[in-house]
Chain A
């Protein structure tokens, strides 16, 4: 491994950094996704999530 590569790999990245602000196009695409998801979620939810989760409960480990 080259010294340059080692230097790049060894650099400290500050933990807990906030993500960069998305650009306008990314934002618009994501908003469109979230709007569509709202309808899909409304259709998907059973109204009794606890019962659904119990019906889907696994009886033995893989």
Chain B
């Protein structure tokens, strides 16, 4: 394996919003996931709650929101492309689900913090495969702390209750340098020990945010991957820029839109975020071409240098490029239009924060509004009185606060609407208007990560057989046969299925083990599943299930069992639907050879299939087969020796034939099915000229050819 090869991935949580007063949010999201199961080709994940998709990525319900994970990517271009593809999937699902419910549009938001007062966050987790022996924290923490100047999503600190703009709203939620917890007491560096591959460890970062700018996303991935590569190469890139208090430094950098704030360095002195970033950049530039650096290092370094140079010129120099700077610029402009100077918000923020905290103490969940603060039944009357002298001391009036509170809620809504997917999303509209400049350098030729490509191909091939197959990051598992495709090595994905043994390295999913524990597979259940698959137009899956059912059943029943011709004729119908006419004829002929007397309803179905196949092939010599059917139907009531269902459920086959045959031919075939299903009510077969012209033919008469 190439030492410079990278494995990159991102997990993104999305907010899903229905109409005001809509369903419980969890019901809304669960409905969306049910729609996803119906709509998207997939295999179930380990627990059966999530879906591995045809992209090789995964969609699942995490707590109360959908989370989309990209497949493993080898370069930042591919990762950005996969993230955007995942967003398009989310948007499509939400639009379709909204239309289906007929209760207004369902919105999907790329947002990072909940500004309604819950103080919750939506996570965006980055993953970097690596093989560094030592802990990466010292190498990478200064980078993570300082990269917020270009990776920050921008927005408001939702822990403060005030109106505090931050380059990175995720930052206030990071309270430790290193943690192993992703939902409480989160760390800048997340020491998750779940590697998902035999050959690589996984650096799992919690400090990233959902971003709209392709450039910001690409740079975040590219620069961080280069820092990981430097660490793998033994460069120790963080040593010279270690910080005395990384958490405090990150908060300081995130709160300063001039990018000039400093933080104490561990070795003495003070560093700005740009100082630290220029240090990492210089190291990366100095190692371009090293065996451990990816081939795209120079592209990333060029863009990295450019963005740092622009940041040194102020936020307006990156206002069309980076999320936080775009937000800051348009939020400032909006405040101005509402008659509130941006700087005024900072002055009011402590007062608003005090009132917001008081509202929480009153166990009120609604956002802070002027009527709530100043209304006749205000729960904050005492707080307002206490703050009166402070407000007067600031030289401000409560009337001014009314406008500030209204603006605050609008800004919070705009923050959420900024990353709204599809029409109406602010970033999307600005992008469509051509006023943004967030494109990245042209992508180099790149191959997908082998295991991601293999997983994607298997999902496409096996989708629809969720009861049998399941998928994990390190394998695709067949609980029926006990085999799996080993994807434990991302760069050496296996092509073939192998029988799993407990000594294998790849841990199987619970569903696989449960499936193995069940008794032998029932061919009838398999065949019934094939029927459903055929009706859903999932023909390759239906064919596979029937072939498997035939193989299992042949080993279980006598050679003369009526099940054998019945099952083969069902397979012939699937092949007919798949337009594999030659194969279908061979299997149908085999069914007839196996159909030992006494003849029964299965004989009629085999003859129907024969006639249908000949007509589809443009052959008109169907008279003798119609004659055999005539003989069959003329005998006493049609028996059923194979214990098969009395009603032949083939509307999909008839619809398929009606699209391809002349009306009289399709009508004859439909009448034959109707008659086979209810012989006592012969469905006017005599009205069909071909039927009337056919002479009764002995059932023992041999079929000519295959």
Contacts and interface: CB of A to CB of B under 8 A. Distances in A.
A49 B261 contact: no
A58 B260 contact: no
Interface in B621-651: none
21 contacts: A8-B275, A9-B241, A13-B260, A13-B270, A15-B261, A18-B258, A19-B257, A26-B316, A29-B320, A33-B319, A38-B333, A40-B429, A41-B330, A44-B413, A44-B420, A45-B417, A53-B412, A55-B19, A56-B114, A56-B116, A58-B120
B429 A58 contact: no
Interface of B: 13, 15, 17-22, 24-26, 62-65, 107, 109, 111, 114-118, 120-123, 182-184, 239-241, 257-258, 260-262, 265, 267-272, 275, 279, 312-317, 319-320, 326, 329-330, 333-334, 337, 365-367, 369, 409-410, 412-414, 416-417, 420, 424-426, 429-430, 433, 435-437
B269 A12 contact: yes
Contact of A13 (B20, B21, B275): B275
| 5 smallest beta-carbon distances between A and B, as pairs | A10-B269, A19-B314, A49-B413, A37-B330, A49-B409
Contacts of A56: 15, 17, 107, 109, 111, 114, 116, 416
Given A54-B367, A55-B21, A58-B65, 8 more contacts: A10-B268, A11-B275, A36-B429, A38-B337, A44-B424, A52-B20, A55-B18, A60-B63
A9 B279 contact: yes
Given A20-B314, A53-B409, A58 B366 contact: no
A12 B426 CA distance: 39
A4 to B, nearest CB: 12
Contacts of A48: 20
Contacts of B315: 19
Interface residues of A, number: 51
A8 B337 CA distance: 43
Nearest to A14: B260
Contacts of B412: 49, 53
Interface string A22-39: 110011011011101111
A32 to B, nearest CB: 5
A36 B369 CA distance: 28
Contacts of A6: 240, 267
Contacts of B330: 33-34, 37, 41
Nearest to A44: B417
Given A44-B426, A61-B63, A26 B317 contact: yes
A19 B258 contact: yes
A53 B433 contact: no
Residue with the highest number of chain B CB atoms closer than 10 Å, among A15, A20, A27, A41: A41
Residue with the highest number of chain A CB atoms closer than 10 Å, among B239, B261, B365: B261
Given A18-B258, A36-B430, A62-B182, A9 B269 contact: yes
Given A30-B329, A33-B436, A62-B182, A57 B114 contact: yes
A40 to B, nearest CB: 4
Contacts of B260: 13-17, 19
A40 B430 contact: yes
A52 B15 CA distance: 12
Nearest to B278: A8
A25 to B, nearest CB: 10
Given A14-B260, A38-B337, A58 B18 contact: no
B533 to A, nearest CB: 36
Given A15-B261, A44-B426, A53 B435 contact: no
Contact of B430 (A8, A37, A54): A37
B118 A11 contact: no
Contacts of B62: 62
Nearest to A2: B240
A5 B261 CA distance: 20
A17 B367 CA distance: 34
Residue with the highest number of chain B CB atoms closer than 10 Å, among A5, A12, A13, A51: A13
Contacts of B329: 30, 33-34, 37
A42 to B, nearest CB: 10
A49 B117 CA distance: 13
Contact of A40 (B317, B337, B426): B426
B523 to A, nearest CB: 44
A50 B19 contact: no
A31 B26 CA distance: 41
Contacts of A51: 20
Contacts of B269: 9-12
A39 B333 CA distance: 12
